[in-house]
Structure 1
């Protein structure tokens, strides 16, 4: 079992893609200078790079444990002799992986303790390929559990982790303002920079929208889609932006906010609500959850 797990750990396509990521980042930087656009800010960029390095180390044990659980689920699956590494099964896995990512990503925005681990990917007020590398640090702890059901369905963990990597590589290019719109048919089916700019917006209209990985159809079908409007430019960052670029504040600051809210509540029901309800819920103040804000603004 250990040998199988380590083999999957070593074959990480995302790490192999890093040189291409940084090459694209350099091209975007030159584009921003040519367009006289403040695409990058020095302190913000280096905060993103420090978060990237931190994520690599934090991810090691959860990934190791997650892949181990995947193999346990796979060995228990009655379908493991049915599913094979053939093209039809890869296609099925693509859709299942993409839906799994949508559900995981949506949960990161709608469950407070998960948002605390994901918020570092959103707390930059700049939108660029460096921000793409500013991953959610704490979210790594629970991430791989979401994909274990695919192993129970008979998919080899090697296939699952490979598909997860392909999905993350696709998502990298979404974090740019250098691409305005793709063709209409592509925008309708696939996630694009325009759709993902919305996802990083703090505008009430854009909050907690467009959770897709590759296919935007999940958002369209499940009611979480929003178009990027020319009349309403995206404001990047959080509804209450952080002011520090210290790596611990960027990576774990929201855990502190959540902890203070939990301590503030007297009833255990409210304490649990601060962990499991969406960000913005309060037991003694206005409801600032995104769905509530949209309803009050007449956007839903």
Structure 2
């Protein structure tokens, strides 16, 4: 099966090199640029994600295909309106996926990888989890609705490709109508911020309209502080990939009741049995 993301890897490499060169020749005191160790970790996380998905995509295709076959209708791939509907359905599914992966700790344990860098550049986009398994249920309804599995996977790849290019400080605010509708570098910088007012904001994939509709939008204001409110302080890819799962395990082990153990798994990041707090990691 054609994998757009794998074929885009050379494009990613060229863009990373160009952005890094731009920081070298045109430095900006207000922008963090690149750190070699950080970028190397991000690339390693991306390559690990690709390797895991080589096998996992087979499971995804099989499940989507089963749902598609039992769907009461199959939407025609040669009709433009099918692709328009898929675009919006995929983007809404991504919003739901993204929001719950910030608000349910066991899901956050996978997604936290993407927020673990204290830098914000194109290499940050490559910092992907090695445990992508929780994403399947969010797009499964699209197969039941009659979208072909290959169409769903292609649209997912298009969304990820778009999101790669918004992980940059080199682009400021865009034309207001674009900022109103689209997810932009400015909006996504907010999403990667650990500043209090930026937590739990701007979950959109390609569009920012879902955040505006559901009350999770925040415009970029004060300088964004990237990373987590409690940073992992490591460049070890294995630790980056697993640190929150390990923290959940420790909290569950130490909990005194089954209710508290369950809370550490399904409540928000940073939840404690005796008090409900803001989560201790960036949204």
TM-score normalised by structure 1 residue count: 0.89
1:191-222, Cα deviation, whole Å (9 max, x unpaired): 00000000000001001210100010000000
- For residues 197 and 43 of structure 1, the distance between their equivalents in structure 2, rounded to whole angstroms, comes to 21
Q: Using a 3 Å threshold, how does the CA distance of structure 1 residues 151 and 286 change in structure 2: closer, same or farther?
A: closer
Q: Does 1:62 align with 2:34?
A: no
- For residues 220 and 132 of structure 1, the distance between their equivalents in structure 2, rounded to whole angstroms, comes to 23
- For residues 117 and 190 of structure 1, the distance between their equivalents in structure 2, rounded to whole angstroms, comes to 26
TM-score normalised by structure 2 residue count: 0.95
Aligned pair count reads 279
- For residues 266 and 58 of structure 1, the distance between their equivalents in structure 2, rounded to whole angstroms, comes to 35
Q: Please list every run of 5 or more consecutive structure 2 residues that lacks an aligned counterpart in the other structure.
A: none
Q: CA deviation at 1:190?
A: 0.3
Residue in 2 that maps onto 1:33: 24
Q: CA deviation at 1:24?
A: 1.2
Q: Please list every run of 5 or more consecutive structure 1 residues that lacks an aligned counterpart in the other structure.
A: 1-9, 294-300
Q: Does 1:257 align with 2:250?
A: no
Residue in 1 that maps onto 2:260: 270
Residue in 2 that maps onto 1:296: none
Q: Does 1:158 align with 2:138?
A: no
Q: CA deviation at 1:83?
A: 4.0
Q: Does 1:143 align with 2:135?
A: yes
| Contact persistence 1:62–1:142 (CA under 8 A) | no
1:20 to 11, 31, 35: 11
- For residues 151 and 214 of structure 1, the distance between their equivalents in structure 2, rounded to whole angstroms, comes to 20
1:168-183 aligned at under 5 Å gives the runs 168-183=160-175
- For residues 172 and 241 of structure 1, the distance between their equivalents in structure 2, rounded to whole angstroms, comes to 23
1:167 to 138, 143, 159: 159
- For residues 41 and 159 of structure 2, the distance between their equivalents in structure 1, rounded to whole angstroms, comes to 24
| Contact persistence 1:67–1:144 (CA under 8 A) | no
Residue in 1 that maps onto 2:207: 215
Residue in 2 that maps onto 1:191: 183
Q: CA RMSD in A?
A: 1.6
